[in-house]
């Protein structure tokens, strides 16, 4: 019951933050959407599933989002510069990149972050293996192989690293 209340409150707050509109029709549709999703979540027993424990710290997540947003901006500028250039300095490349974050969830976040960054796309990914990445130019893959993104993701999951280092 507590999980259902938490889910409902979280969805209502998220809807309000994302919508920002309070017209009667939108509020009714938003409320119906929340009720439907909560009903489906209870029916599918989603709230009873205890899969991946999340040990992330809020401040590190916000810091990572800021860093990722900056990287997305830089990549947007780079892709725009390459596409608008007369020489069209594009060299599409396909290569496997090692998924180095400590947890399965961290590796999933890594693959999603690669796809969010313009000019790179995670093509094939399983949480245990490397990630097959398509890049607009080889420079993007060199940056990924440098490991800065993976290091930022590892910083988001400090408790997992601490537990592994204690063993």
pLDDT at 161 over 80: no
d(CA 48, CA 85): 53
Supply the pLDDT for residue 154.
85
Supply the pLDDT for residue 162.
45
d(CA 87, CA 130): 33
Supply the pLDDT for residue 66.
93
Rg, C-alpha atoms of the chain: 20
Count other Cβ atoms within 10 Å, centred on residue 167: 4
pLDDT at 93 over 50: yes
DSSP single-letter state for residue 46: G
Note the helical H segments in 85-157: 104-116, 138-146, 148-156
d(CA 165, CA 167): 5
Average pLDDT over every residue of 110-134: 87
Q: If pLDDT is split at 50, 70 and 90, which confidence band does 29 have?
A: very high
Supply the pLDDT for residue 53.
54
129: tokens are 């293996």
Query: What pTM did the predictor assign?
Result: 0.65
The closest alpha carbon to 124, from 91, 145, 104, 95, belongs to: 95
d(CA 90, CA 88): 6
Q: If pLDDT is split at 50, 70 and 90, which confidence band does 163 have?
A: very low
d(CA 91, CA 59): 37
Task: Report percent pLDDT > 70 for the chain.
Answer: 87
For residue 31, report the phi and psi dihedrals to the nearest 5 degrees. -65, -45
Supply the pLDDT for residue 100.
79
Q: If pLDDT is split at 50, 70 and 90, which confidence band does 158 have?
A: low
Instruction: Return the higher-pLDDT residue of 156 and 53.
Output: 156
Write down the mean pLDDT value for the chain. 84
Supply the pLDDT for residue 167.
43
For residue 97, report the phi and psi dihedrals to the nearest 5 degrees. -120, 135
């Amino acid at each position: 019951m507590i999980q259902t209340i938490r889910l409902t409150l979280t969805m209502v707050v998220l809807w309000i933050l994302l919508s920002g509109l309070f017209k009667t029709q939108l509020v009714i549709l938003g409320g119906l959407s929340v009720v439907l999703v909560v009903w489906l979540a209870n029916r599918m027993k989603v709230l009873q599933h205890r899969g991946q424990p999340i040990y992330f710290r809020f401040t590190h997540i916000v810091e990572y989002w800021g860093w990722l947003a900056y990287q997305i901006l830089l990549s947007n500028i780079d892709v725009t510069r390459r596409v608008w250039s007369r020489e069209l300095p594009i060299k599409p490349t396909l290569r496997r990149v090692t998924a180095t974050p400590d947890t399965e969830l961290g590796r999933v976040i890594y693959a999603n972050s690669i796809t969010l960054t313009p000019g790179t796309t995670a093509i094939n990914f399983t949480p245990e293996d490397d990630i097959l990445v398509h890049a607009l130019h080889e420079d993007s893959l060199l940056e990924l192989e440098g490991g800065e993104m993976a290091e930022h993701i590892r910083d988001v999951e400090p408790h997992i690293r601490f537990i592994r280092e204690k063993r």
